[in-house]
Structure 1
Amino acid sequence: MNKPVYILAIESSCDDTSASVMCNTKVLSNVIANQDVHAKYGGVVPELASRAHQQNIVPVVQQALKEAKIGKEELSAIAFTNGPGLMGSLLVGTSFAKSLAMGLQIPLLAINHMQAHILAHFIEDSSSKKPSFPFICLTISGGHTQIVKVNDYFDMTVLGETIDDAVGEAFDKSAKILGLPYPGGPLIDKYAQLGNPKAYSFTKPKVGDLEFSFSGLKTGILYFIQKQERINPNFIQENLNDICASIQHTIVEILMDKLKNTVQQTGITQIAIAGGVSANSEIRKRLILAEKHFGWSTYIPKFEYTTDNAAMIGISGYFKYIKKSFSDLSVTAKARLKVTDK
């Protein structure tokens, strides 16, 4: 019987400090420290984020090891996010991982954050089915909106992406227009449950078959709200649920239209979603319906693996470990990294 592989994974790409311990493809612990400091600024402040990572990283790693009931001397390797993300935040995780790997004299595994979101689908979990290659993954977050063809664990091709803003940003900016606190995307989802998705219509952008654009939609929502408030200053307050439901319906329709185009062009009917916006209840519901209506096989990650977390870094690290795809100590943090970068 092969000796189990224990990987300590560290994620610090934005404003969540996370550490996870994996035993092969199974999660033993997945600890996340959120940073509340950004809420009053309406978005992530890079300098404050990196400072909070410095404060959080040691206790978060200690907690992950404690919950996993693993001593650091039992670890096989250290995996960490080396990009993309905020440079200051990435540097904290990169420096810590390099130092710990050097101190323990074990391999170091540099992980692409965007690939990790997709590979979260391979975490061992009794309740979830796993896609087989090749499959299509719609990667949707605050910073990315991409349709990715996944040929193998580390062989991915971008078929289409946003030409301006990411879908998560569209949700958050729309929420800001409505006076909702940051992060507003989950609040739009919450209020949308109580509203009529057909109450108001917003124009969908006209771009390529597999491309996305959300800047025009945000502007359209802003002008619509400004116009309605001139007529009725209490418009938002009186119609919040319907406004949120209509915004969410429009955004999810755009995403689903692009997925239908992708299936038509590639013939691949295995469809996965990944990234923070994949926690959205409407896109999950629509994907489940697509299985019945279009005969797709759909793969939806568990909620805890949608937002930034170290378990997705750990599963990616495991696949790199068995390939012996190790990094040396000269590896650096990269603020810009594509999902196609090895």
Structure 2
Amino acid sequence: MRILGIESSCDETAIALVTGKGDWLKVENSTVLSQIQTHQQYGGVVPEVAAREHLAAIFPMLERELPFDGQGIDAIAVTSGPGLAPALRVGVEVAKALAWSWGAPLIPVCHMEGHVYASWLPRSKRLFPFFPQRVPKFPALSLIVSGGHTELVMMHDHGKFERIGETLDDAAGEAFDKVAKMLGLQYPGGPNIARLAVGGNKTAFDFPRGMIERDDFTFSFSGIKTSVLYTLRKNEDKLDDAKFKSDIAASFQEAVVDVLTQKSMRAIEQYKPKSFILAGGVAANIELRNRIIKEGERRVTRVFVPPFSYSVDNAAMIAAAGYFRARNPKNFIEPVDLVADSNMDIV
């Protein structure tokens, strides 16, 4: 089965073709056009600007990558939520038009579910398509961590999710972005914090680890954000000191990684999944990846961390989720019935 994936939930316009056979997937092509430079002048993503950029980019991308009549495409998977409503609508409306024009089945996909399915994508191009590869086994536990979400989700089977914990306030990625602004770093904050932290002392500041002592799986990152703000206010004379800022970044990153890792490991010990999946844009953070792999492999047989290119927003992961959803025709939707849902939930 050959799936066209379309992604436009935030500031990346992406399309991909993914072919599946059994549990094995092959990425024929995956194209992502980032809007980072456009939004840097605003200090963050402006929804209406993002939508205009998607509209300008998506049709040339489709013309370059796809046959005009959609020949050979068995279904279309599109991110229908969550995300920025104006941005989502571009991808959704394009997918609806293509499905109607080609007569292809249409599959709405939750963006967060797509991030989970990034771990089913092959880590590299292989000589033989559908070469057996290691894929997650069920039940699988996933830490989904991004700019808008931080949650622990049990995946009992394809498309069957149960949330066991989530943030009560800021998401981890949101905290990264806000602290980056405090430090005068450009958007996107997460990667810039990580780069700045490389030269810093991660024990220089003892920032709070929100809810780390609680036995449940709830998260909170508002406290650490506030603590960083107060630390900067108390040290205004050091704001131009590169080493001081690096120490702040490293200490902040260490605190966030501590919370995410310890909560995840506690969940592994309690739920005893066969696999653990790190998913979401913050999964591109090297410190988090390394810690999750190191600690996870002590407790569970299989730890899955997608390649960097599939950790950030892309359409291959949406096509992957669509492939497994396409196994059940009940997941198809009539184009006229599909609407973008900025609050779409994975469970």
Query: Normalising to structure 2: TM-score of the pair?
Result: 0.91
For the aligned residue pairs, the C-alpha RMSD in angstroms reads: 1.8
| SS across alignment from 1:74 | coil
Question: Match for 2:332 among 305, 310, 326?
Answer: 326
> CA deviation digits over 1:311-339, x for unaligned, max 9?
01101111122222311121111111111
Paired residue for 1:48?
49
The CA distance in 2 between the partners of 1:55 and 1:288, in whole Å, is 39
Question: Match for 2:8 among 12, 15, 25?
Answer: 12
Paired residue for 1:193?
198
Change (3 A) 1:88 1:291: closer
- 1:61-210, aligned counterparts within 5 Å? 61-65=62-66, 72-125=70-123, 129-206=134-211, 208=214, 209-210=216-217
Is contact 1:129-1:299 (8 Å) kept? no
Is contact 2:265-2:295 (8 Å) kept? no
The CA distance in 2 between the partners of 1:191 and 1:129, in whole Å, is 34
Matched length: 331
Measured after TM superposition, the shift of residue 234 of structure 1 is 4.2
The CA distance in 1 between the partners of 2:286 and 2:198, in whole Å, is 9
Change (3 A) 1:295 1:323: closer
Measured after TM superposition, the shift of residue 264 of structure 1 is 2.7
Is contact 2:224-2:252 (8 Å) kept? no
Question: Is 2:216 the partner of 1:215?
Answer: no
Measured after TM superposition, the shift of residue 10 of structure 1 is 0.5
Question: Match for 1:274 among 257, 263, 279?
Answer: 279
The CA distance in 1 between the partners of 2:146 and 2:167, in whole Å, is 11
User: 237-246 or 174-183, which moves further after superposition?
Assistant: 237-246
Measured after TM superposition, the shift of residue 63 of structure 1 is 3.2
Is contact 2:139-2:156 (8 Å) kept? yes
Is contact 1:87-1:335 (8 Å) kept? yes
Is contact 2:6-2:318 (8 Å) kept? yes
Is contact 2:268-2:300 (8 Å) kept? no
Query: Normalising to structure 1: TM-score of the pair?
Result: 0.92
| SS across alignment from 1:224 | helix
Change (3 A) 1:257 1:115: same
User: 314-323 or 44-53, which moves further after superposition?
Assistant: 314-323
Is contact 1:29-1:65 (8 Å) kept? no
Measured after TM superposition, the shift of residue 183 of structure 1 is 0.7
Measured after TM superposition, the shift of residue 269 of structure 1 is 5.7
The CA distance in 1 between the partners of 2:62 and 2:6, in whole Å, is 8
User: 57-66 or 254-263, which moves further after superposition?
Assistant: 57-66
Structure 2 residues without counterparts, runs of 5 or longer: 126-132
| SS across alignment from 1:205 | coil
| SS across alignment from 1:30 | strand
> CA deviation digits over 1:202-233, x for unaligned, max 9?
1122374201111111010000011012xx34
Paired residue for 1:263?
268
Change (3 A) 1:98 1:298: same
Change (3 A) 1:237 1:312: same
Change (3 A) 1:233 1:249: closer
Paired residue for 1:38?
39
Change (3 A) 1:26 1:218: same
The CA distance in 2 between the partners of 1:103 and 1:293, in whole Å, is 51
Measured after TM superposition, the shift of residue 72 of structure 1 is 2.3
The CA distance in 1 between the partners of 2:91 and 2:193, in whole Å, is 32
| SS across alignment from 2:321 | helix
Change (3 A) 1:50 1:158: same
% identity of equivalent residues? 40
Is contact 1:272-1:300 (8 Å) kept? yes
Paired residue for 1:297?
302
The CA distance in 2 between the partners of 1:315 and 1:297, in whole Å, is 20
